Structure formats: structure tokens, C-alpha cells
Amino acid sequence: MKILLIGKVGQLGWELHRALGGLGNLSVFDFPQVDLERPETIRGLIQNVRPDLIVNAAAYTAVDKAETEQDRAWKINAVAPGVLAEEAGKLKAVCIHYSTDYVFDGQKREPYVETDEPAPINFYGRSKLGGERLVQETDSAYIILRTSWVYSLRQQGGFVNKVLQWAREKETMRVVEDQIGSPTWARMLAGLTALLVARGGSQLYDYVGSRRGIYHAAGSGGVSRLEWARVILRYDSNPEQQRVKKLEPASSSEFPTPAARPPYSVLNCERFERTFDLRIPGWEESLQLAMGDRNTGP
Ligand SMILES: NC(=O)c1ccc[n+]([C@@H]2O[C@H](COP(=O)([O-])OP(=O)(O)OC[C@H]3O[C@@H](n4cnc5c(N)ncnc54)[C@H](OP(=O)(O)O)[C@@H]3O)[C@@H](O)[C@H]2O)c1
């Protein structure tokens, strides 16, 4: 099987590069070889590689900047996935793409299911929803995995690393408690993607074709950012380096951002689990593994 992975340096792309390697002949492209802002670079690339499977890990993920870079965010998050899926359809290749919990407005108080009506409250969410719709309009064999609160311990700046850093700098940490979501370890999501591909095996096109659609795939369960921070500190393997003595609840209104965030975006992943006969680990179970790995891994 020829696999084309787009994006290998982002949180998920880096893990997919590792996870998909054993499943076929993997070609990996990143910006600037492929620029999702310029669809012609995508079409040319796909026609050259002629893959059986396209996995798109690239996206415009700067949620706040997207408010002012709407044209760019739309091209990368909406137009480009549509082009990828269209080209996949021409080749009878499978297309796997990722979307976001931010397609929802966060007004629900129980986990979102795939049939809930999207109503994004920021431009990033609108552009990702645009991508979902343009992929769905094609006649390709596609899977869209909606995920949420993706983290990786490899990259500075993500929530987990930030919490560990703040804990070493401050005695009192204030973290918002009015945002509730499903933390998702990038490696876990890449592993799920690889398992799904392996399930299809040599019949991948028919396997995905008969199951094509949107699925929720995120760390199982939900948690506030405040509670997430508390658990991160608990799994810190160098707690003696922490200066923090108090972890206090804060409200999102204390930290205004250009883009609004949904207050609640926990995803119900039962449809994914049932369809692909896979179990998604609880968010805390994955976090514990991720933080253990941080201390022992390369
Ligand atoms: N992060 C989250 O919390 C989260 C939550 C829900 C859903 N998702 C979705 O999950 C997927 C993976 O997210 P992630 O966290 O791994 O994102 P990420 O770490 O920000 O990686 C995205 C990658 O896309 C690349 N990219 C940006 N513009 C590009 C362009 N014009 N052409 C080619 N590549 C371009 C970025 O390159 P540069 O770094 O050079 O810009 C980056 O390497 C995305 O579809 C995202 O929307 C993420």
C-alpha cells in the first residue's frame, strides 16, 4: 500500500510518521514541498505519488490568529481538504482527515455525538467545519476524525509542557475551570489511525468506503483545564522541582483571547469504537503513559 502523509512536523503528523511507517510504503511531505494554501501543489503531488491512502495531518491551528487571517485559514482548513478528498476520489484512494471539537458551540452539557448540529463560535471552527463539508461533498472513501485538545510532550508551548513550566516558576497558578474538554495524546490518536488502517488491510478502500463519514476520536472522558492541570502536576516525575503551592480556579473572562472557546466540548467516541472495534483509552490513562514516556523515552 502506498501511503501519502501530509504534514510530519506537527504534533499529530510527527506521531503518524512513526505509526504509519510499518503499514506500507510511506511518502511524507511537509511545507513548503506541499503548501495547502495552494491547491495546485496538492493536485500535482497526489498525481505523482498515486497513493492508496492519503492522511492529512496539516492544518492551520492558530485559533486566535485565524480571526484575522481568515482567508489563509479557510484555504488551508476548508479548501485544501476538499481538494485532497477530490483527488483521492479520482484515484480510488482512501482519505483520512482530522477535524475539531471547535465545530460545536459548547452549550451542551453532555458529550457531543456526531449527529449534533455544529455551530462554531470562532473562525478556526468555521474553517474546519468548511473542510468537513467539502470533503463530504466528494465521492471519495473518506474518514474524518474529529478530535480535541491534542497534546504532545515533544513540543514546547503545548498545555502539558506549559503547566509543568508554570509550576516551576510560580507559587500560585490560576487555571480556567470553565472550559471542559477531552485531552487527546497525539500518539494515541496516531495509533488509533494506524489500527483503523490495519483493520481495512488489503481491502482498505472497500472497508472505509462502507464506513465513510465523521467520527469522534478523542481521549475518553472529559475534564476542566483546571483539573487537567492538577493531574499533570500529579504525574510530574520531578515534583521536587515544582515551586507551586496553590492551584486556583480562574474564569476564561480573566484571560480574554481574540477567539472565543466553547465552554464544553467533550466528545462521545462510541460510534468510532463500535464501528472499528477499537477501545479508546481514558484521557488520564493516556496522560499517565505520555508523562512516563517523557521521562524514559528519547
Ligand atoms: N491541537 C489541537 O488541540 C487540536 C484540537 C482538535 C483538532 N485538531 C486537529 O488535529 C489535526 C492535527 O493538529 P496538530 O495539533 O498536530 O497541529 P499542529 O501541531 O499545529 O500541526 C499542523 C501542521 O500543519 C502545518 N501547516 C500549516 N500550514 C500549512 C500549509 N499551508 N501547508 C502545509 N502545511 C501546513 C504546520 O506547519 P507550521 O508549524 O510550519 O505552521 C504544522 O506542522 C489538525 O487537523 C487540527 O485541526 C487539533
Reading the block at residue 225, the C-alpha cell is 483545564
207 catalytic residue (yes or no):
no
Condensed to tens digits (0 to 9), the pLDDT of residues 252-270 reads 999 999 999 999 999 999 9
pLDDT at 40: 82
Give 194-236 as a DSSP string.
HHHHHHHGGGHHHHHHTT-EEEE-S-BS-EEHHHHHHHHHHT-
Contact 33, 50 (CB under 8 A): no
pLDDT band at 39 (very low <50, low <70, confident <90, very high): confident
Contact 90, 40 (CB under 8 A): no
Instruction: For residues 168 and 176, give the distance between their C-alpha atoms in angstroms, rounded to a whole number.
Output: 19
Condensed to tens digits (0 to 9), the pLDDT of residues 60-92 reads 999 999 999 999 999 999 999 999 999 999 999
User: Among residues 124, 215, 235, 264, which one is catalytic?
Assistant: 124
Instruction: For residues 298 and 293, give the distance between their C-alpha atoms in angstroms, rounded to a whole number.
Output: 9
Nearest one of 265, 263, 226 to 246, comparing CA atoms:
226
Has residue 241 got a pLDDT over 80? yes
CA distances from 286 to 154, 167, 235, 279 (A): 15, 21, 11, 12
pLDDT band at 157 (very low <50, low <70, confident <90, very high): confident
Give 62-121 as a DSSP string.
-TTGGGT-HHHHHIIIIIHHHHHHHHHHHHT-EEEEEEEGGGS-S--SS-B-TTSPP--S
Instruction: For residues 198 and 5, give the distance between their C-alpha atoms in angstroms, rounded to a whole number.
Output: 16
Q: 161 by DSSP, 3-state: which?
A: helix
pLDDT band at 298 (very low <50, low <70, confident <90, very high): very low
Has residue 296 got a pLDDT over 90? no
Residue 111 inside a domain? The answer is yes
Residues with CB under 6 A from ligand 1: 7, 9-13, 31, 34-37, 57-61, 76, 98, 100-101, 128, 147-150
Reading the block at residue 261, the C-alpha cell is 472557546
93 C-alpha to ligand 1 centroid (Å):
22
Instruction: For residues 77 and 128, give the distance between their C-alpha atoms in angstroms, rounded to a whole number.
Output: 5
> Which atom of ligand 1 is nearest the CA belonging to 56?
45
Contact 120, 129 (CB under 8 A): yes
Query: Position of cell 514546547?
Result: 156
Residue with CA nearest ligand 1 atom 8 = 100
Residue with CA nearest ligand 1 atom 10 = 98
Reading the block at residue 295, the C-alpha cell is 521521562
Condensed to tens digits (0 to 9), the pLDDT of residues 207-216 reads 999 999 999 9
Has residue 293 got a pLDDT over 90? no
246 C-alpha to ligand 1 centroid (Å):
33
What is the number of domains present in the chain? 1
Residue 141 inside a domain? The answer is yes
Has residue 164 got a pLDDT over 70? yes
144 C-alpha to ligand 1 centroid (Å):
15
Residue 192 inside a domain? The answer is yes
pLDDT at 294: 56
What residue numbers bound the domain in which 43 lies?
2-148+185-218+267-281
Residue 62 inside a domain? The answer is yes
Supply the mean pLDDT for the chain: 95
pLDDT at 155: 76
Q: What CATH number did the domain enclosing 42 receive?
A: 3.40.50.720
Nearest one of 123, 139, 12 to 77, comparing CA atoms:
123
